[in-house]
Structure 1
Amino acid sequence: MEDSNELIQRKSWWNRNWKWFVPTGCLSLLVLFALFIAGIFFEVTSIIKDSDAYKESITAVQNNKIVVEKLGSPIETDGMVSGNITSTNDVRTCDVQIPIKGPKGKGTLFVVGEKRGKWKYSEMSVYIEKTNEKIDLLKK
């Protein structure tokens, strides 16, 4: 009789631990998935920020007297860059929107261009939120 009681009381590892193992396993999968998505996001963002088009446009904003007058100095990026940069053979294209800010306000930098050896921009402009005006950085 003692042997049958002992067998009844001895549960398998799964029967003893499933209540914490299942939620922990599901949570672990969700965390891994979130890290994977975040990794892709940061990789794409860093590709855009490392591009010549991004660097040239930020430099153009920081050196534009009208934009500096409207937003103040220093002007820096403010949040998530959106858009895309593509490469086909030796031709690269960009169409990005970069949120920017200065001590006096915020704006968005729009950059559209193509690179065949050197970048040629069809648009490089800043939209100033406070005054609802658009400043063309390509005009001299």
Structure 2
Amino acid sequence: MPQESPKQLTPTVLPLFMPSDRTNDYVPPKSWLRRNWLWFLPVGCLSSLLLFAGTIALIAHLVFSTLKQSDPYQTALASAQASPELAAKIGSPVEASYFATGSIHLENSDGDASLAIPVSGPEGGAIIYVEATKSSGEWTYEYLSAELNDTRERIALDPSRGE
């Protein structure tokens, strides 16, 4: 029997890029936003809302703290705390609430103030009304009184007690 010669193996080289009939085989990966939108959308909206609310709260805090540091506010509150008539009606100690309303306009050493300051004691509450003008650096109080919440009775306050 004749002897067969061993087959020679030739290495085959595969091309790096195989041509295809389809031209759109490559599918790009989804973007980060497309993969995470389900949690990103509510968290992003909530974060924006909290940032907006925090900004408003900060502005309100700055306005109220500026109002509370003014001379008319300090004098009115000290006059109310030193008033025996007010202490007899709402109790002692007389404490101011966080919110005060009104306006203060200052220009150099002149200005005016119109404030309403809620105060409370152990037996009730009142609102202190202040109308004052500032001339040459000195505050003059045209009106300073406390109105009781339950009876609407007005008690005149002496600004000299608060200075």
> With structure 2 as the length reference, what TM-score do the two structures score?
0.76
The percent of aligned pairs where both chains have the same amino acid is: 36
Greater share of residues in strand: 1
How many residue pairs were aligned?
137
Question: Please, which of 118, 137, 148 is the counterpart of residue 128 of structure 1?
Answer: 148
Q: Is the helix fraction higher in 1 or 2? A: 1
Distance 2:34 2:151 in 1: 66
Q: How is 1:1-140 mapped onto 2 (pairs within 5 angstroms)?
A: 4=25, 7=27, 10-116=29-135, 117-138=137-158
Contact 1:97–1:109 under 8 Å retained in 2: yes
Per-residue deviation, 1:12: 2.1
- Using the TM superposition, give the Cα deviation of residue 63 of structure 1 relative to its aligned residue in structure 2, in angstroms: 1.2
Q: Secondary structure at the residue paired with 1:19?
A: helix
Q: Which runs of 4+ in 1 moved over 3 A?
A: none
Is 1:109–1:124's contact at 8 Å kept on the other side of the alignment?
Answer: yes
- One-letter amino acid matched to 2:63: V
User: Distance in 2 between the 1:92 and 1:32 partners?
Assistant: 35
Partners in 2 of 1:118 and 1:139 — Cα distance? 13
Q: 1:105: Cα distance to partner? A: 0.8
Query: Which sits farther off after the overlay, 98-107 or 17-26?
Result: 17-26
By how many angstroms is 1:56 displaced? 0.7
Q: Which runs of 5+ in 1 are unaligned?
A: none
Tell which has more relative contact order, 1 or 2 (C-alpha 8 A, sep 6+).
2
1:38-92 Cα shifts (integer Å, max 9, x gaps): 1110001001111111111111111111111111111011241111111123212
Residue 109 of structure 1, CA deviation:
0.5
Q: Which runs of 5+ in 2 are unaligned?
A: 1-19
What SS is found at the alignment partner of 1:85?
strand
Q: How far is 1:27 from its partner?
A: 1.5
CA contact (8 A) 1:81 1:99 kept: yes
Q: Deviations over 1:11-42 (max 9, x none)?
A: 22121111221222121111111111111100
What is the TM-score with the length of structure 1 in the denominator? 0.87
Whether the 8 Å CA contact 1:114–1:121 is kept in 2: the answer is: yes
Q: Deviation at 1:104? A: 1.4
